[in-house]
Structure 1
């Protein structure tokens, strides 16, 4: 499989293993932004209809990327947290309702639910440390459970969840199913219909290789009317563009969550980045990431003093490898790696590496050599 080296022109000596945080753009995204900027300088918004066609292509790419039934199910949002907030503060909660999450969630998928405490809503955290994390999540669902919200891949450990099993379990229990898919979409295939999720959200700046400030919110058509709206404006109307109309109603589509002017600059970049993922193919992207994660996992496991905190089972892995070194503080490990131009980040119990499909074997081999040096000092 081609790794499209011409698309990634990184600084000499840079070893970039931080796609689970913020990813570098491919060259085509940079070129798309440059074209958009030049067009603004020379023509302003003369060709705004062309921008709208580009934004529609982005929606179509996102629809295909997550296998949504329709582009009508996709809203373009600022970030994952905004989409989670649309769900949390859109549902009509009753005092005593429960929400099930895990004990390993990124703050975005915890705080938003804890913020409902003033309405009498209780957050139940299931422990994922056992052999069957899905069973633990489903066992935490009781008669008062209204919703389960889970990260499809845990941000610190890289644990990958069985979304199909969780989705089926939620359906059987009459529980709404919300998926924070930021650590999966763009790295692994994601099928909104197969996992039967009601809501899914992800930023574009990680595995989708896009800019910060633009993400996607999938909302299943049957549950969209359940979400009360909290933001209103010209863009979220069913008859958007009819500025003389005095009566109005929210769009039937997920555009109802987009209150005002769109982020066209971000859309230009993300649409270009997703075109690359489509050219490669998500099955091929996932296979390439799995290979690179295996290289890291096996290489780190062979270094004395290194402890791995990511799943041993390849079926449980995504794009994240977490490790620590006995006797060396994680912050110090990270500092030394940074000094050697390894871009990574401390998360949870260890330091987190996250390669993408294009990451060269050389980058991983050189990084492993640096980790070995740190461990042997």
Structure 2
């Protein structure tokens, strides 16, 4: 197909360090969408059966990426928030039930649980920086705890959690584990079986290098029928193609969470993007990303007045490096970086940088050089 750097023909001078927000598409995704658009213009849906083959491949790629037991465990959803809502409003809650989360979750993984308050569900928020984050989360699980909902990697600090330890701890306590994997999936290997999670979800537009509007929802097979459905339509039926059938039942697979027509345009792009990650291999993606994160950490240590707000140890980090700079307000520093074509984000305690495995070393060095100049005034 392409050499890796040919997949990302970014504008000269652009320093893209914002994959924790929205990623650029690889060239193969651009080509897939272009072909799909041209086919629509010329022949419409004449070859819809071929499009369905792409959708099937997408489910299979996601199954492998999550190490799910079967592609039947994979639902294609609009976004992470939708998948979290399927869990939050699908479980049969009892007044007094508790949900354990951290105190620094992205709003998607906080609001959805707080919205259960009218049902008598209590949200317990745990501080992750008072010592052992995993122990703190598990210690917060009491006899009324029904579910732990946690981000694999925290969006602002970049803290990466030990999911296998959390999964084992939840299992022994009889607590369901729900993982918001959006800041890990596509950046580092992720394994729903090793983590023993009940549910996992992620959008495609960050580390998966895909478009907005299409994500993945993993639901453990023994729990699918336990989630009450709130969306109904032709596509979520067991016999979805039999339009004259009067009796119906939800699909036994995770397709039961997909009520209507699929996002075929998004599927074309995301399937192509995932093929790149598979071609490279997730162990190699992780290694390359960790090398780039280490370069940022080492370089920031040499910037006068720079303060890191992210974990330094490899086992506690993913692709996010958040920092602040003495003498600079966060917003002013963000605007100055943006003016110099450093694409990043203002999050948490400062400025969030997030390279990916393909990021050229020159991009990181030029960014660090700019920060040294700004620090010097």
Q: Fold-level match, TM-score > 0.5? A: yes
**Equivalent in the alignment of 1:242:** 242
**Equivalent in the alignment of 2:47:** 47
Alignment size in residue pairs: 376
Tell me the alpha carbon deviations over residues 297-353 of structure 1, each in whole angstroms, 9 at most, x when there is no partner.
Answer: 110011110000000212101000000001210111101100100000000001000
**Equivalent in the alignment of 1:119:** 119
TM superposition shift of 1:86 = 0.2
CA distance in 2, matches of 1:336, 1:187: 27
TM superposition shift of 1:130 = 2.1
**Equivalent in the alignment of 1:19:** 19
Unmatched 5+ stretches in structure 2? none
CA distance in 2, matches of 1:138, 1:327: 39
CA distance in 2, matches of 1:368, 1:3: 26
**Equivalent in the alignment of 2:334:** 334
CA distance in 2, matches of 1:235, 1:297: 47
**Equivalent in the alignment of 1:64:** 64
TM superposition shift of 1:373 = 1.1
Unmatched 5+ stretches in structure 1? none
- The 3-state SS of whatever aligns with 2:62 is helix
CA distance in 2, matches of 1:141, 1:57: 39
1:145-224 alignment, distance < 5 Å: 145-224=145-224
CA distance in 1, matches of 2:279, 2:295: 24
CA distance in 2, matches of 1:192, 1:347: 28
CA distance in 1, matches of 2:333, 2:145: 42
- The 3-state SS of whatever aligns with 1:236 is coil
Tell me the alpha carbon deviations over residues 222-251 of structure 1, each in whole angstroms, 9 at most, x when there is no partner.
Answer: 111110000000000001100010000000
TM superposition shift of 1:3 = 6.8
Tell me the alpha carbon deviations over residues 136-178 of structure 1, each in whole angstroms, 9 at most, x when there is no partner.
Answer: 0000000000000000000001000000000000000000100
TM superposition shift of 1:12 = 1.1
- The 3-state SS of whatever aligns with 1:159 is coil
TM superposition shift of 1:361 = 0.5
Say if 2:38 is the partner of 1:32.
Answer: no
Tell me the alpha carbon deviations over residues 102-154 of structure 1, each in whole angstroms, 9 at most, x when there is no partner.
Answer: 01100000000000001000000011012210000000000000000000000
> TM-score normalised to the size of structure 1?
0.99
- The 3-state SS of whatever aligns with 2:324 is strand
CA distance in 2, matches of 1:372, 1:323: 13
1:297-376 alignment, distance < 5 Å: 297-376=297-376
Q: In the alignment, is the contact (CA less than 8 A) between 1:3 and 1:357 conserved in 2?
A: no
Q: In the alignment, is the contact (CA less than 8 A) between 1:308 and 1:322 conserved in 2?
A: yes
Q: In the alignment, is the contact (CA less than 8 A) between 1:3 and 1:358 conserved in 2?
A: no
Q: In the alignment, is the contact (CA less than 8 A) between 1:77 and 1:258 conserved in 2?
A: yes
Say if 2:143 is the partner of 1:143.
Answer: yes
**Equivalent in the alignment of 2:4:** 4
CA distance in 1, matches of 2:17, 2:141: 37
**Equivalent in the alignment of 1:83:** 83
- The 3-state SS of whatever aligns with 1:223 is helix
Q: Structure 1: which 4+ aligned runs deviate by more than 3 Å? A: none
Q: 1:208 to 1:247 in 2, by over 3 A?
A: same
- The 3-state SS of whatever aligns with 2:116 is helix
**Equivalent in the alignment of 2:293:** 293
Cα RMSD (Å) of the superposition?
A: 0.8
CA distance in 1, matches of 2:301, 2:137: 30
> TM-score normalised to the size of structure 2?
0.99
CA distance in 1, matches of 2:131, 2:350: 21
